[in-house]
Amino acid sequence: MVDVILKTNSEQGLIKRNIYGHFSEHLGRCIYEGLWVGEDSPIPNTEGIRNDVLNALQKLHIPVLRWPGGCFADEYHWKDGVGPKSERARMINTHWGGVEENNHFGTHEFLRLCELLGTEPYISGNLGSGTVQEMQEWVEYITFDGESPMANWRKSNGREEPWKLTYFGVGNENWGCGGNMRPEYYADEYRRYATYVRNYSGNKIYKIACGPNDNNYHWMEVLMREAGRFMDGISLHYYTIPTGEWADKGQATGFGDAEWFTTLKKTLYMEELLVKHSEIMDKYDPEGRVGIIVDEWGTWYNVEPGTNPGFLYQQNTMRDAVLAGINLNIFNAHNKRVHMANLAQIVNVLQSLVLTEGDKMLLTPTYHVFDMYQVHMDAQRLELNYESPGYTFGEETIPQLSLSASRSKDGIIHVTACNLSHTDELEVVCHIESADAASVSGQILHHADYGAFNTFEQPDRIQPAEWNGITLENNKLRFVLPPASVGVVSVKG
């Protein structure tokens, strides 16, 4: 049993809704098949975007969607992807499988998808192999209201009004696939490119610099020192790879207890990364103006056997669900610095929300976690005090419990909880201070088999259920988390 103090009168700031963001990349079957099937497809669609996936994603109220990559972004030339589809350039997607990219999904299609989802676009510009002019003109094309060469071209391509575009990334992974640059060199390049990412017609861009990969603290130091004042946000990428080895990352399914434990241990490293990168940022930006944008995170396993190694297609089990819950709780706790996070990738790639096969679609356990956690978006974070029991495997111990709490605008208190142990349930007693709690309800995501996943034959094997047995007495909330589970509790006054 663990005692938790929930302080309802100590608000810790807003949990920015963009923490619940996602990432779409021209990689494998994410864009083509997953999101875009084209207007002429027998799969029911809205202007080429498949309806089943669209409807599923609409329910999550996704706040922000990143596009077009990833590594793809620094090879993408946006002009190839506008105008009549029959005339669009064909290219090779050199990063991801060497397949043909016909550019049928381009700027107009992405921004239409965002409109249909009610989500804010976050576009990653090409610094690695594109020109400053190309980047400047992309922003002009999208946002300029009035007469200009790019605005006129946009209009001739069927879009009279400019779009609103807030989030713009100036390169991606420029320490690696985006040009193998040194931080000193990239910092100068960032300053040059970012100068031409202009605010047109009242549109205000939030500029995001390419930040470090996991624990590259030197990169963060140099970027903040040399370019911190020219940016609004800086990215951080951290993937959870069970073995820690790129050559054999571990399987998405069919894993054992040791892999379960190691994977969760590795994902908890996100906490240390945020603490240490924040410390560096505090030196150069003590007011906390610049945000951390965790624009790639999630699990990365070996591809599903028999699938194209360049497509990075993986299944998604209860392990991914618990891992998603843990990371979202961590991001909530760092709500002051973390302005945005984007899980990689939304459909058919790494830790996806949705998988498709032909005209079939399924929701992954990770989808359900995002659904349950929606309640935290734009809510006031509340302070929690507790000491988690340890979860020991072999010689190693990690915390068994991961928690987060917030109060939504309508006054409802929400607690999200993950039990990391694959064997032991956990009773949680939450003392709600300074509030009169009257009623309680909850949802739980759990399966007797921690390796369970949804298939096209059994798409509803894992789905949230009503959480019975939660009690509330004299402001004492009590619930029992089954092993390997994620829960959300709502407390009304």
Could you give the residue numbers annotated as active site? 173, 296
Q: Which residues of 266-302 are buried (b: 16+ CB within 10 A; e: fewer)?
A: bbbebbebbeebbebbeebbeeeebbbbbbbbbbbbb
CB 254 within 8 A of CB 317: no
Q: Which is nearer to ligand AHR, 70 or 130 (CB)?
A: 70
Cα 290 versus chain centre, distance: 19
Distance CA 33, CA 45 (A): 11
Collapse the DSSP code of 71 into the 3-class scheme (helix H, G, I; strand E, B; otherwise coil) and give the result: helix
- Residue 381 C-beta: closest distance to ligand AHR, Å: 28
Least distance (Å) between residue 276 CB and ligand AHR: 21
Rg (CA), the chain: 22
- Alpha-carbon dihedral sign for residues 146, 152, 156, 162: negative
Least distance to ligand AHR, CB of residue 192, Å: 22
CA separation for the pair 161, 182 (Å, rounded): 40
Closer by beta carbon to ligand AHR, 70 or else 183: 70
CB of 301 to ligand AHR, least distance (A): 12
Give CA angle at 146 (142, 151), nearest 5°. 35
**In this structure, are residues 84 and 106 in contact, taking their beta carbons and an 8 Å threshold?**
no
CA distance 342 to 124: 13
140 versus 173: smaller Cβ distance to ligand AHR: 173
Exposure on the CB side of residue 443, measured as CA atoms within 13 A: 15
Closest separation between CB of residue 233 and ligand AHR, Å? 16
| Separation between Cα atoms, residue 399 and residue 4, nearest integer Å | 14
Q: Give the three-class secondary structure for 212.
A: coil
Question: In this complex, which beta carbon is closest to ligand AHR, that of residue 6 or of residue 241?
Answer: 241
> Phi/psi at 273 (nearest 5 deg)?
-60, -45
What would the two tokens of residue 326 be?
Answer: 């843990």
CB of 400 to ligand AHR, least distance (A): 30
Q: Map residue 348 onto helix, strand or coil.
A: coil
Binding site for ligand AHR (CB under 6 A): 25, 69-71, 172-173, 177, 296, 344, 350
Closest contact distance (angstroms) between CB of 128 and ligand AHR is 11
Bridge-based pairing of strands 465-466 and 439-445 is antiparallel
Min separation Cβ 179 and ligand AHR, Å:
12
CB nearer ligand AHR, residue 235 or residue 332:
235
Nearest to 418 by CA among 327, 338, 354: 327
**Residues forming a β-bridge with 481:** 426
Nearer CB in complex with ligand AHR: 239/255 = 239
Distance of alpha carbon 483 from alpha carbon 419, whole angstroms: 6
Q: Residue 395, SS3?
A: coil
Indicate the DSSP class of residue 37. Answer: -
**Residue 237 or 381: which CB sits closer to ligand AHR?**
237
Backbone angles phi, psi at 256, to 5 degrees: -110, -170
Q: Which CB sits closer to ligand AHR, 25 or 134?
A: 25
